[in-house]
Amino acid sequence: MKIAVFGCGYVGLATAVGLAEMGNEVIGVDIDEKKLGMLSSGQVPFFEPGIQEMLKHNLAEGRLSFSSDIHSAIQFGELIFSAVGTPPKKNHEADLSAVLNVAESFGRYGSNGKIFVNKSTVPVGTSEKIRETIELFAYQPFDYCVLSNPEFLREGTAMQDFFHPDRIVIGIEPKDLDAKKMMDTLYRPMIEQGVPVQYTDIRSAEVIKYASNSFLATRISFMNELAEFCELAGADIKTVAKGMGLDKRIGTTFLDAGLGFGGSCLPKDLAALIEKGEALGFDFELLKQVQKINQKLPERMINKLKKYVPNLQDATIALWGLSFKPKTDDLREAPSLKLMKRLLKAKARLQVFDPVSMHHAENIFLERPEFFSKITFAGSAHQALQNADALLIVTEWDEFRNPDYAKIKSLMKQPIIIDGRNLLVPKEALESGFIYESFGRNLPGLQSQTQKKRSLKSKQRVTYRSNVKKSQVVLE
């Protein structure tokens, strides 16, 4: 099958490479000539495990190529995939300009039998705008179909998710039977593996993507709210999460407490769904709280730090991890950036390390020279700890999971760890002589000050009640 994929970012490139690996002839289309040059030479402009090897293989096999020639790409493709970005506007509404630009080109250069497959994340009702744009720019009427085929790829596991998805969702008009046959043929390798395919109306397909991400965000914020409660109640959020996850109705995923969610999908899609609700006169009260809980988590970490380093001015704070999650270099909506800006405004000095995203962080802070001069971009995790007053664990990279406590203690000025991802074993950190804070965990051998106060008050009430009873007996 001949396919043109518009947009060579995370989603577009994973889609183009994956479809080529399945034996299709694919052209990846983008307006960024520098990016196209890199891709054509087998280089990927972002970090994503496994994708570069697959890119090189399909370039060598001649099944995959890249171009900025929009006209030729649309003429070539039987299926035209739109996988361009839909970044948020200032009001959090999804910016559809890139999607509609693809639709405009499809209208100008399309012909009978072409299928427009929207893979970009778009608000409900976008398919109608795509149709309107196609018909507005078509020189003469032609037969075409518009489908919605939302992506469910996770950064860090994009290729695995492409070939082994949980489900395939395709929004389609009932009359478009030929298009359905083509999509069945396209996804036959997955279907034969038993991957469920859900054909829906187009509007429902558009909602499914936003609903899925907003529900995952809700699970995360619920666990972070529960973690704060566990700290007060003396429970351990890790143990609570395990007990919850054993319930098959709940499952084990997205039950980790900590610094919350970031990245290019969950924050953006949550905000876009809230905004679309407002446009339709509907108030997503729950999702607004999910958003609010997530936004306050970096400040919670700062407050934990200030218990031990109350004066942040000229303090040296080490950060392990910058990307919003492991196995990616993506810093979009990353909690690390919010932490760094808050610490820098408090005039702290920062020493940061991340296995893959350092260059992106440097580029971001180069635009703020007053901040850049206060940041050391370390060459290793240990280098970031030199004379540090505290260590903040921000991203759960595997290489941070089993630290050499003796080594890091010898490097740091003060043995303080604030674990924003509940990555370490509390008992090991405490027994190694560290002050250790995490999110919602009951630290072994230590009773929280809140619990001690409650215990003292409880004893006082028992004593008071006992005295009352004795006095009553005497009076009687």
Which position has the token pair 């290729």?
A: 159
- 121: Cβ contacts below 8 Å, ≥ 6 apart: 86, 94, 150, 151, 209, 210, 265, 268, 269, 272
Measured CA to CA, the distance from residue 120 to residue 95 in angstroms comes to 11
Provide the pLDDT confidence category of residue 468 given band limits of 50, 70 and 90.
very low
Beta bridge partners, 118, equal 82, 148
User: Are 389 and 309 in contact, with CB atoms under 8 Å apart?
Assistant: yes
> Per DSSP, which regions of 344-448 are E strands?
349-353, 375-377, 390-393, 416-419, 435-437
Measured CA to CA, the distance from residue 448 to residue 460 in angstroms comes to 18
Average pLDDT, the chain: 92
The residue with greater pLDDT, 261 or 452, is: 261
Burial class (CB in 10 A: 0-12, 13-18, 19+), 415: buried
The gap from C-alpha 449 to its chain's centroid, in whole angstroms, comes to 34
The residue with greater pLDDT, 430 or 452, is: 430
The pLDDT of 359-383, averaged and rounded, is 94
pLDDT digits (tens, 9 = 90+) for 266-293: 999 999 999 999 999 999 999 999 999 9
- 149: Cβ contacts below 8 Å, ≥ 6 apart: 81, 117, 118, 119, 168, 169, 170, 171, 183, 205
* pLDDT value, residue 444: 58
DSSP code for 133: H
Measured CA to CA, the distance from residue 197 to residue 152 in angstroms comes to 13
User: Are 325 and 355 in contact, with CB atoms under 8 Å apart?
Assistant: no
* pLDDT value, residue 464: 38
- C-alpha closest to that of 343 among 305, 308, 380: 305
Beta bridge partners, 417, equal 391, 436
Question: Which of 145-154, 367-376, 440-449 has the largest mean confidence?
Answer: 145-154
User: Are 21 and 186 in contact, with CB atoms under 8 Å apart?
Assistant: no
- C-alpha closest to that of 176 among 195, 200, 208: 200
Annotated catalytic residue within 8, 145, 230, 265: 265
User: Are 223 and 255 in contact, with CB atoms under 8 Å apart?
Assistant: yes
Which position has the token pair 């950036």?
A: 337
Q: Please give the helix or strand (H or E) that residue 72 lies within, else none.
A: helix 70-76
* pLDDT value, residue 164: 96
Q: Given strand 349-353, what is the order of strands in its sheet?
A: 375-377, 349-353, 316-320, 390-393, 416-419, 435-437
Which position has the token pair 């919350």?
A: 260
3-state secondary structure of 449: helix
| Total residues belonging to the chain | 476
265 flagged as catalytic: yes
Provide the pLDDT confidence category of residue 465 given band limits of 50, 70 and 90.
very low
The pLDDT of 189-202, averaged and rounded, is 96
User: Radius of gyration (Cα) for the chain, nearest Å?
Assistant: 27
What is the residue type of 381?
A: A
Measured CA to CA, the distance from residue 44 to residue 56 in angstroms comes to 10
CB-facing half-sphere around the CA of 330: CA atoms within 13 A: 19
Measured CA to CA, the distance from residue 429 to residue 416 in angstroms comes to 10
3-state secondary structure of 74: helix
pTM: 0.89
Q: Which two tokens stand for residue 317?
A: 């704070």
3-state secondary structure of 436: strand
pLDDT beyond 90 at 467: no
User: Are 316 and 323 in contact, with CB atoms under 8 Å apart?
Assistant: no
> Per DSSP, which regions of 330-414 are E strands?
349-353, 375-377, 390-393
Count of helices and strands (H, E) across the chain: 19, 14
Phi, psi of 329 (to 5 degrees): -105, 15
* pLDDT value, residue 116: 98
Q: Given strand 64-67, what is the order of strands in its sheet?
A: 64-67, 25-29, 2-6, 79-82, 114-118, 144-148, 168-171, 197-200
pLDDT digits (tens, 9 = 90+) for 50-87: 999 999 999 999 999 999 999 999 999 999 999 999 99
